[in-house]
């Protein structure tokens, strides 16, 4: 059987002296007279190369134990010194932040050094190669074979398994584990890691309990895993400080460079913690809160479940399923739901990791650019000359709003509205703001769900005003993406032209006197009216916010005399928040580039004097469920998912104009340009008011009057 085992052999010749160490299986922080682990490791490999297996086993065990003990001591000392500084010096803190910072830096270094020497003695710096062997658990690769040679098969299996936890790609070691399992006396249940990652062990044990529907036990398991995760994160940060002070070359480059090195190390901690068997697990920490919110839901603890759902969204803010869950919890908790926030530990972790990333990004620029200014519009990522997409706001690093991590602040799920004053959604047209309107087609008429058609939402005069606004300000191809060019403006079909005007460009036109203020103000008012109707008719529990507003016209370029009967689509069948048929027929995954945050959509039609151009509800195979003929003041509203696929039939003659609106339940995606446009419109109105003031001729008093 031995011939099948990979032989880990390194022929080296080292000489080292060491003192016997009284090391425990899990040593406490105490004075231990021992040789450093690098010396023990060198002697262990020497004994290994001479095939002195018993001696090699003893030395490898001592080396690994000392490595763990040294790490425990470093974490203990650094934590102890930090707490001591807070307790002693905070009472005599000084107002100069820089002096206080430097004082802590020097105190922490000297205090930690004295503490380490107390428990470990003076030790030389360990080489990077040796440290890497221990961190990657290569040491267990030697140890597993040495165990095998002395007949300790179960220990060999455990050592080999421990090695595979960080070297999942090592097929040889994985094969060795399989071989050990076949040996007499080795039970699979007895094979476990000799160096377990506690938070991961707890996580996977809790996941098993969850799958067995042992909800209370699973909750406790995930809560323990979270505590261990945050402890591991703190320890990782502490070890970053230790590494900084060991780097003498870096230290000579100046304090700023030293602390940039610490930042770089700290920003890598979350990645280290989410690495499972050599694989980086996406949303590893967030998964804890996902399991927890569902487990708490199963035991009907909705408040705890809501806090977990909110915590999850800190790390994956656009996860639609979790946002839907949070809506449920808000409904279940009623008006008290406004108090829902993410957990304190999750907020603290999120703030730290976010600020670390921002600081590192800004500090990199600070070191690279002599003309750096904290008011710069863009910060570069240090890789190329392209600006990053999101501006780093200096204020984010120092300000802390009350309730900054509430549901409303982070995800825009607004406060619960009062109960609808009508039982039947169709009765909303009796509201004063919808006077003159009537329901044209319901879900049943339109052969679907969460869809409605209404007419009378705008008068003929209002429709003509918006059409004139489009004539004055709309641009060919405007409004969708970068496919627009001067030669070929964007359109879904070459049988039409497509033009549009955003609410921002309309307001700018009013300010520059290219469009009447009244027409632009009507753009705002009618879109608000349709938003309110959508919110009221579907009896939504939280407010709708604008995601995008677009006044669009499609014009046929087909020759009327050609009698081209071939059908075409002005806008292909699609969903407003998912990618239709992207993963196979009938699928509609919610992922980029889809606008996954859009929840409802509506169109207000401005005219009907054209041929074709019907609004279509359809199936995923393009078969039509229902048609709606546009007319002035007629509107259609619907939920924006797979349940309401839609498109536009091709226009054969004439021009078709409509006000297209998309809504979201998430305030964070509220249309930013709409707010800017509103401010611009107010300036345009004030400009017009001043221009309309009556002129007067100043008079000069005569000499006698003076």
Q: What is the pLDDT confidence band of residue 196, given thresholds at 50, 70 and 90?
A: confident
Q: Please compute the mean of the pLDDT values over residues 227-241 and round it to a whole number.
A: 93
Mean pLDDT within 227-240: 93
What distances in angstroms separate CA 654 from CA 160, 495, 497, 635, 706, one per listed residue? Answer: 76, 12, 11, 20, 71
Give the H/E segment covering residue 556.
strand 545-556
Whether residue 377 has pLDDT greater than 90:
no
DSSP secondary-structure letter at 380?
B
Residues 671/528, Cβ–Cβ less than 8 Å: no
What number of H helices and E strands is found in the chain? 21, 16
Q: What pLDDT was estimated at residue 567?
A: 75
Find the DSSP H helices in 93-150: 97-120, 128-135, 138-149
Whether the CB-CB separation of 521 and 534 falls below 8 Å is answered with no
Omega cis (within 30) before 643: no
The pLDDT score that the predictor gives to residue 388 is 32
| Predicted confidence band of residue 701 (pLDDT cuts 50, 70, 90) | low
The span from the CA of 432 to the CA of 263, in Å, is 59
Rank 98-107, 177-186, 492-501, 616-625 by mean pLDDT and report only the highest.
Answer: 616-625
Question: For residue range 323-335, what is the model confidence (pLDDT) as tens digits?
Answer: 888 888 887 887 7
Question: With 50 as the cut, is the pLDDT of residue 385 above it?
Answer: no
What whole-number distance in Å separates Cα of residue 340 and Cα of residue 23? Answer: 49
* Statement: residue 250 has pLDDT above 60: no
Q: Could you tell me if 392 and 380 are in contact, meaning their C-beta atoms sit under 8 angstroms apart?
A: no
Q: Where are the beta strands (DSSP E) in 333-394?
A: none
pLDDT over threshold 60, residue 486: no
Please tell me the least confidently modeled range out of 341-355, 489-503, 518-532, 642-656.
Answer: 489-503
Asked if residue 593 has a cis previous peptide bond (ω within 30° of 0), the answer is yes
* 408, two tokens: 């409303």
* Residue carrying structure tokens 């107010």: 682
What is the per-residue pLDDT for 245?
A: 64
The set of residues, in sequence order, having a beta carbon less than 8 Å from that of 402 and lying 6+ positions away, is: none
What percentage of the chain exceeds 70 in pLDDT? Answer: 80
| Three-state secondary structure string covering 434-462 | HCCCEEEECCCCCCCCCEEEEECCCCHHH
Residues in the chain: 706
Q: Comparing 524 with 171, which gets the higher pLDDT?
A: 524
For residue 242, name the pLDDT band (cuts at 50, 70, 90): confident
Which helix (DSSP H) or strand (DSSP E) does residue 509 occupy?
helix 503-511
Band of residue 632 on the pLDDT scale cut at 50, 70, 90: very high
List the single range of 222-231, 466-475, 583-592 with lowest mean pLDDT: 583-592
Q: Is 488's pLDDT higher than 70?
A: no
Percent of the chain with pLDDT over 90: 46
Closest CA to 441 of 628, 662, 646, 659: 628
Task: Compute, in degrees rounded to 10, the torsion defined by CA atoms 333, 339, 340, 346.
Answer: -160
Closest Cα to residue 235, out of 192, 261, 198, 187? 198
Task: Give the contacts of 100 (CB within 8 A, at least 6 positions apart).
Answer: 93, 94
Q: How far is Cα 375 from Cα 392, in angstroms, rounded to an integer?
A: 10
Q: Which two tokens stand for residue 511?
A: 């300010």
- Most trustworthy range by pLDDT among 98-107, 292-301, 370-379: 292-301
Beta pairing partners, 509: none
Is residue 509 within 8 Å of residue 518, measured between CB atoms?
no
The pLDDT value recorded for residue 280 is 87
As a whole number, the mean pLDDT across the chain is: 82
């Amino acid at each position: 059987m031995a011939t099948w085992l990979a032989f880990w052999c390194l022929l080296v010749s080292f000489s080292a002296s060491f003192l016997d160490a009284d090391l425990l299986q899990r040593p406490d922080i105490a004075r231990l007279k021992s040789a450093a682990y690098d010396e023990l490791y060198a002697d262990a490999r020497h004994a290994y190369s001479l095939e002195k297996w018993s001696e090699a086993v003893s030395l490898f065990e001592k080396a690994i134990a000392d490595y763990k003990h040294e790490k425990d001591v470093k974490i203990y000392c650094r934590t102890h010194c930090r707490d001591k500084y807070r307790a002693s010096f905070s009472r005599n803190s000084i107002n100069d932040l820089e002096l206080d910072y430097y004082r802590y830096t020097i105190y922490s270094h000297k205090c930690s050094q004295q503490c380490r020497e107390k428990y470990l003695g003076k030790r030389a710096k360990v080489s990077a190669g040796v440290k890497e062997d221990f961190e990657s658990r290569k040491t267990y690769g030697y140890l597993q074979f040495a165990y095998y040679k002395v007949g300790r098969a179960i220990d060999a299996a455990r050592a080999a398994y421990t090695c595979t936890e960080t070297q999942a790609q090592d097929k040889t070691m994985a094969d060795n584990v399989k071989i050990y399992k076949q040996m007499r006396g080795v039970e699979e249940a007895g094979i476990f890691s000799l160096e377990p990652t506690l938070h991961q062990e707890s996580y996977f044990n809790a996941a098993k309990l969850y799958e067995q529907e042992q909800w209370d036990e699973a909750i406790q398991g995930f809560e323990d895993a979270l505590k261990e995760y945050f402890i591991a994160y703190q320890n990782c940060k502490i070890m970053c400080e230790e590494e900084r002070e060991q780097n003498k070359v870096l230290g000579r480059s100046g304090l700023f460079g030293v602390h940039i090195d610490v930042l770089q190390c700290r920003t890598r901690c979350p990645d280290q913690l989410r690495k499972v068997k050599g694989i980086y697990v996406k949303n590893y920490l967030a998964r804890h809160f996902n399991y927890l919110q569902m487990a708490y839901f199963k035991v009907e603890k909705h408040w705890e479940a809501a806090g977990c759902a909110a915590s999850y969204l800190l790390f994956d803010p656009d996860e639609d399923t979790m946002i839907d869950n949070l809506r449920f919890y808000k409904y279940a908790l009623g008006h008290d739901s406004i108090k829902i926030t993410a957990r304190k530990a999750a907020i603290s972790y999120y703030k730290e990791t976010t600020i670390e990333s921002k600081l590192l990004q800004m500090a990199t620029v600070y070191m690279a650019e002599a003309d750096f200014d904290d008011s710069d519009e863009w910060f570069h990522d240090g890789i190329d000359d392209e600006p990053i997409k999101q501006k780093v706001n200096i204020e984010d690093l120092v300000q802390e709003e009350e309730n900054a991590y509430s549901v409303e602040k982070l995800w825009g799920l607004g406060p619960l509205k009062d109960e609808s004053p009508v039982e039947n959604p169709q009765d909303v047209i009796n509201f004063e703001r919808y006077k003159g309107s009537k329901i044209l087609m319901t879900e049943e008429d339109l052969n679907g769900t969460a869809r409605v058609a209404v007419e009378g939402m705008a008068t003929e005069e209002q429709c003509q005003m918006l059409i004139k606004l489009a004539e004055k300000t709309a641009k060919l191809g405007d409004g969708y993406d970068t496919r627009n060019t001067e030669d070929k403006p964007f359109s879904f079909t070459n049988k039409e032209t497509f033009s549009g005007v955003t609410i921002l460009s309309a307001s700018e036109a009013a300010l520059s006197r290219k469009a009447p203020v009244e027409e632009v103000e009507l753009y705002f008012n009618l879109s608000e009216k349709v938003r309110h109707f959508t919110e009221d008719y579907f009896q939504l529990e939280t407010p709708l916010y604008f995601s995008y507003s677009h006044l669009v016209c499609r014009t046929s370029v087909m020759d009327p005399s050609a009698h081209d009967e071939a059908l075409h689509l002005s806008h292909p069948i699609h969903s407003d928040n998912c990618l239709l048929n992207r993963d196979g027929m009938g699928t509609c995954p919610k992922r980029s580039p889809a606008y996954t945050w859009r929840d409802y959509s509506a169109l207000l039609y401005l005219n009907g004097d054209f041929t074709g151009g019907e609004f279509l509800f359809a199936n995923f195979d393009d078969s039509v469920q229902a048609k709606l003929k546009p007319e002035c003041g007629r509107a259609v509203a619907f939920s924006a998912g797979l349940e309401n696929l839609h498109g536009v039939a091709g226009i054969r003659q004439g021009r078709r104009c409509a006000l297209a609106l998309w809504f979201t339940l998430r305030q964070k995606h509220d249309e930013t340009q709409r707010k800017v446009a509103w401010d611009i419109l107010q300036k345009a109105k004030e400009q017009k008011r001043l221009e309309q003031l009556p002129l007067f001729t100043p008079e000069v008093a005569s000499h006698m009057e003076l």
